[in-house]
Every structure is written in structure tokens, then in C-alpha cells.
Amino acid sequence: MKPCLPDVSPLALVSLFTAVALLAFVPGARAQSYCASDGQPRPTQLMERFINADCADCWSDPATPQAGAGQLALDWVVPGSQGDDAPLSAVATRDALARLGALDQRIPEKTLASSRPVKELEGTTLRVSHGLPVADYLGASIELKPIPAAAKKQRWTAWLALVETLPAGTEGSPVTRNLVRNVFQATWDGHKPILKTEQNRFFEMRSMNIAPGSNPSRLGVIGWVESENGQVLAAAQSHCVTP
């Protein structure tokens, strides 16, 4: 005799799963670690390091730029011409191609590193957070509050990267890396007036897929906001606290 199951649509199941995944990062929802950028120093520079997946030695290159004081580093592995046969194909992501496009940069033959200053928006705070893994997903959010006057009649882009922090020495890396595992971006439109029923903030919340092979205990999020001309206006990284 088969158990009687409720007739639930696939869309409803997806909505329920997403709600559970996002509940993980709501303060007080769990008596476990909670991860956010609250209280963390504001980065003054955003460094991005790109590696072509075809380059077997680039990961362990001793000339790799190291993040200095105030610098927030991201590491992207770009899919190479060798496809799945590339030495670093296991950690390559097509999100790296989109990021290079946003920076108006070509795919590097080996590596590419760039660093840009982060402009501080006075009176405004960028906050990122995430919860605990649920199945193969992680609930994450990015918020800019309050909306600054500089955002009016502007379209800003918010980026939120799910990263795996790998200590120096991992697979021979000479530096600590924040390896990008997943990304989403959103457009924050300052042309739209704020309704009386809305909070004075830009806010995005997502359930992000955890890439195969990732170590959940090393996952975090890094977020940043860019203006229409590509200037980095704010950046933040999550930090986990165990009650």
C-alpha cells in the first residue's frame, strides 16, 4: 500500500526549498554560526586575479600578487581552450567570462590581475550575509542601506560572489585565495521612486548553488557595487561568528 502524498506542483516545491535555504541566514533562525559583514573593516581596494584554466603552473606561480592591507581579493578561473581537459577545468566557471566582459578585458593567455580603489559612500553601508548549506544550496543576500543621493537617476550593478577561501599552500598556491564558485548580479535602478511601503534600501536575496567539490566549511560571500562607468562604490566580505 503506497502512502498518500499531497499533490504539490514542482513550482511550489522549488519555492518551499528556496524559502528553507534562505531562512538559514536569518539572524536567530538557527543557534549555529551566522555569517555577515557586520563589524568588518571596509575594503579600500578590490583586487581580481584571473587564471586561464589551460595554465597548469599559474595557480602556484610565485609571482602571484598578494592582497595587501585594505585589499579584498577574488580569484577567477576562466574556462580554457582545452575544455574539460584543461588542468584547472574542475574549478573554472563561465561566470569568469561574464566578469571579464564587464571589465572589458579579454581572456588572458595565462593570468591577469587588476586592482581598483573602492569609493566610500558616506552614511551608507553595504552588507552581505549567508547562512548554512541546505542540500547543495546556500542562502545569501546583499544590501545597500540607506540608498545614497548619488544613486538617483543612476543604474548601479550589484555583484555577489560565493567564494571558497583557500589558505596559502593549498595545491601549491603562494597566496590565500577567495576562489569564485558562483555569482549573481543585479541592477539597482535609482530612477525608480521609493514607495511609502518600501524600505529605503537596495536589497537582493538568493539561493546560490554550491559547486561540486567545494568545501562547505570554507564558503563565504563577497559583494560589491559598481556605478555605470565601472567605479567600485562599496565592497564587503562575510565573516562567520559562532554564538
Rounded distance, CA 196 to CA 194, Å? 7
pLDDT at position 20 over 70? no
Rounded distance, CA 231 to CA 243, Å? 37
Residue 28 lies in a domain: no
Q: Are 33 and 240 in contact (CB under 8 A)?
A: yes
Per-residue pLDDT, averaged over 171-175, amounts to 97
Rounded distance, CA 243 to CA 241, Å? 6
pLDDT at position 19 over 50? no
Q: Is the peptide bond before 87 cis (omega within 30 degrees of 0)?
A: no
pLDDT at position 26 over 70? no
Name the residue range of residue 96's domain.
33-60+67-241
Chain centre to alpha carbon of residue 85: 26
**pLDDT bracket for residue 243 (50, 70, 90):** low
Residue 123 lies in a domain: yes
Residue 150 lies in a domain: yes
| Chain segment 174-184, per-residue pLDDT in tens | 999 999 999 99
Rounded distance, CA 199 to CA 190, Å? 14
> 137 phi and psi, to 5 degrees?
-130, 160
Residue 9 lies in a domain: no
CATH number at residue 164: 2.60.40.2550
pLDDT given at position 186? 97
| Chain segment 196-210, per-residue pLDDT in tens | 788 999 999 999 999
Residue 3 lies in a domain: no
Looking at the structure of the chain, the number of domains it has is: 1
| Chain segment 57-107, per-residue pLDDT in tens | 999 999 999 999 999 999 999 999 999 999 999 999 999 999 999 999 999
Residue 26 lies in a domain: no
Residue 223 lies in a domain: yes
CA distances from 115 to 47, 76, 147 (A): 4, 14, 26
Residue 4 lies in a domain: no
